[in-house]
Amino acid sequence: MLVLLIESSKLYQMFLSDLFVRLGYRPVSVASRQEALQALGKYEFHFICLNLSLDGEDTMEFIPQVRKLAPQASLILLTSDRAKGIRLQAVKAGATEVIYKSSASHIIRRLQVLLRGSHNSQVLSNSCRVLYVEDSRTQAAIVRQTLEQDMNLQVEHCNRAETALERLAEREYDLVITDVLLKGGASGLWLLRQLRQLDNENAQLPVLTLTGYDDPERRLELLRAGTTDYVTKPVLKEELIIRVNNLVSNKLLMDKVLEQQAQMQKLAMRDELTGCYNRLGLEELADKYISQATRQERPISLAMVDIDHFKRINDAYGHDTGDRVLRTLGKLLRRKCRKSDVVARWGGEEFVLLLPDTNREQGRAALQKLRKLVVGMCAVKGETVTASFGFTSIEAPQRPQLNAMITCADQALYQAKEEGRNCVIYRECGNQNPV
């Protein structure tokens, strides 16, 4: 891409030229207005850098001439003049940005940011999907060419709002572009309102509306209906590129933020030492599983697991060894339980197992198997490690509370300790909904 450098200083010409070359651009340097006008008439430039003191004449009068000859280019004004109002005056004249000649590093940083932003606005990932709704074949061909060839986007085109709504209910997209006036029984405005009422992630999609009307009432109507942005017809190619790029980039950025939030939430629900769920994770999942068991009239069981004589292990072999035993037990429980089961560390050496679709007999059999596996897999310097299990079960259609089940299982665990440890004890959960 070509860059026009309108700079009378040979030193700045060399500095800027070298900088643009390193950034992947082809600079064309001129020292006067006349040379600049000749170059603008001969080439199409992506960027233009202009010195305020050029020729000692009024640069603010020259900016509109440059803008007229290169309406699509980004025009950067370089100046040492920090007089109040210079930036506003330059922008009103047609400049894209003003960079003060304070230092070489400042100029480099500002130009890198501007160039990077402009370059990124031209090409998006070809994995980005756009749903385009337009009933005019001619208009659709023009817009699709811009989106697919110039912006590298995947475009699905349909000519009716009803068809678009069906696709939005089934597939995921990154952007919707729709004309307001469409043939058939539904308009783009109808589609927009229906889109915002969907019960999937597409309800939050950015929408770019194309309209032949630019009156304030129509703009307000589109905004109230939920449009994110709009473009008036006839559609300018560069304006379309900029607006689509902004909408899709913001959507991808928001997707990344939500993904990071979900990851942080996932980490917040996990015990760092064992990799099992923590209390927060257990509470989050328990409500879902208990509600499901009640709704489907299926049994559910809950067990408390406690390592026998854990304090003695810590005292005799140190906390590092104790942590290793906890990690080993946590890994064993996660690997040997079903995918539908919830394994959580309750605190210290205690674990909780929530077992959906498991009655009393099934729970006892599963826990006995786990108890034997603990004996076989956990050892400290040749010494066998055991665990005690206390559990309870609820049969449908009763709806238990997590606290009630934990209380019952904890009482069963206490009984298991009293009866010699390394055993499985069941206790009926009589108080299902304590106040």
Burial 134-156 (b: 16+ CB within 10 A, else e): bbeeeebebbbebbeeebebebe
Q: What angle do CA 182, 178, 204 make, to 5 degrees?
A: 135
Which pLDDT value is given to residue 115? 67
Dump the DSSP string for 107-156: HHHHHHHHHHHHHHTT---TT-EEEEE-S-HHHHHHHHHIIIIIT--EEE
- Is the domain covering 2-120 a CATH 3.40.50.2300 domain? yes
Which pLDDT value is given to residue 86? 80
Which pLDDT value is given to residue 91? 84
Residue ranges of the domains in the chain? 2-120, 129-260, 279-426
One fold for both 129-260 and 279-426?
no
**What share of the chain in percent tops pLDDT 90?**
43
Residues marked as catalytic: 349
Whether the Cβ atoms of residue 6 and residue 51 lie closer than 8 Å to each other: yes
Which pLDDT value is given to residue 95? 86
- One digit per residue, the tens of pLDDT, for the chain of length 435 reads 788 998 888 888 888 888 888 777 889 999 888 899 999 999 989 889 888 665 555 778 888 989 889 887 888 888 877 777 788 888 888 888 888 876 667 777 777 667 655 544 444 556 789 999 999 999 999 999 999 988 889 999 999 999 999 999 989 999 999 999 888 788 999 999 999 999 888 899 999 999 888 788 888 888 888 899 998 888 888 888 888 988 998 888 888 877 877 777 767 888 989 999 999 899 989 988 988 888 888 999 999 999 999 999 999 889 999 999 999 999 999 999 999 999 999 989 999 999 999 999 999 999 999 999 998 776 677 778 999 999 999 886 666 788 999 999 999 999 999 999 999 999 988 644 433
User: What is the value of pTM for the model shown?
Assistant: 0.50
Which pLDDT value is given to residue 238? 81
CATH superfamily of 279-426: Reverse transcriptase/Diguanylate cyclase domain (3.30.70.270)
Which pLDDT value is given to residue 104? 67
Which CATH code for domain 129-260? 3.40.50.2300
Strand order, beta sheet including 229-232: 154-158, 129-133, 175-179, 207-211, 229-232
- pLDDT per position as a tens digit, 31-82: 888 899 999 999 989 889 888 665 555 778 888 989 889 887 888 888 877 7
Which are the contacts of 304, defined by CB distance < 8 A and separation ≥ 6? 346, 350, 351, 352, 389, 390, 391, 406, 409, 410, 412, 413
* Phi/psi-derived region of residue 223, left when phi > 0, alpha when psi is between -120 and 50, beta in every other case: alpha
- pLDDT per position as a tens digit, 316-354: 889 999 999 999 999 999 999 999 999 999 989 999 999
> Minimal CA–CA distance to 252: which of 315, 299, 303, 206?
206
